[in-house]
Amino acid sequence: MYKIHNYKKNKRDNRIDHIILTQAKNLYQKGTYLQPDNMLGSYHYTWGDWQSYFYEELKLKRLPMHYYTELVDQDYVIYKGLNKYTRSKFLQDLVKHHVIPYKYLDSLLVVIGEDYTVDPMDKRMYNHLSDKLFSEIMYYNDINYNQIIYLDDILTRDWKQMLKNSPLEYQIEPAKFFDPHYMYIQMKDYKKH
């Protein structure tokens, strides 16, 4: 069971500068166990299994993401992990070991429970994220489309070597079937005025 934290004790700057998206499998760590189907996502509930993985297998005190989304039954759902005042351990690890630049340390992390190294992103997922999550965050934090970024686009030039030379066990794989251009088109359609 996870511990409830009081954000006032670790409050950071209220401003959100970036939203980083990544596929769930990038948070998996070598040498640990998670049912293989959870990394593929699609057609079954994985949120509970991912929570158990983080708390029971990795012994984390907090979830490493701010939001998690997946297909459940007929449509997509969004779960809240961290509050926006808490840094993501995943992003902290990547910044510390120069896998991503420092300016992304305080970003919100949105994890998608699908594997985009195998399957393309469902257009309904883009619509869902734009309507239920991005438009509201953009409106209340005065951020634009360029500040919503997929992890692949912020990896440093030598990220593979940096990851290899670090003690980190993440298995980051570029998501060749993620289409940021279509995502930006959808965000414009759902923009709140």
What is the pLDDT, as a whole number, of residue 5?
Answer: 56
Mapping DSSP to helix (H, G, I), strand (E, B) and coil, where does residue 112 land? strand
End-to-end CA distance of the chain: 40
Residue-wise pLDDT for 64-79, tens only, equals 999 999 988 888 999 9
Can you say how many angstroms the Cα of residue 184 is from the centroid of all Cα atoms in its chain? 17
pLDDT in tens, the chain (193 residues): 555 655 555 555 567 889 999 999 999 999 999 988 888 876 678 899 999 999 999 999 999 999 999 988 888 999 999 998 899 999 999 999 999 999 999 999 999 998 888 888 888 888 889 888 988 888 888 888 889 999 999 999 999 999 999 999 999 999 888 877 777 777 777 665 5
d(CA 134, CA 156): 25
Going from N- to C-terminal start, the domains of the chain cover 7-189
d(CA 68, CA 88): 13
Class of domain 7-189 as given by CATH: alpha beta
β-strands 108-112, 19-23 pairing: parallel
Question: What residues pair up with 71 in beta bridges, in sequence order?
Answer: 76
Q: Is the pTM of this model over 0.75?
A: yes
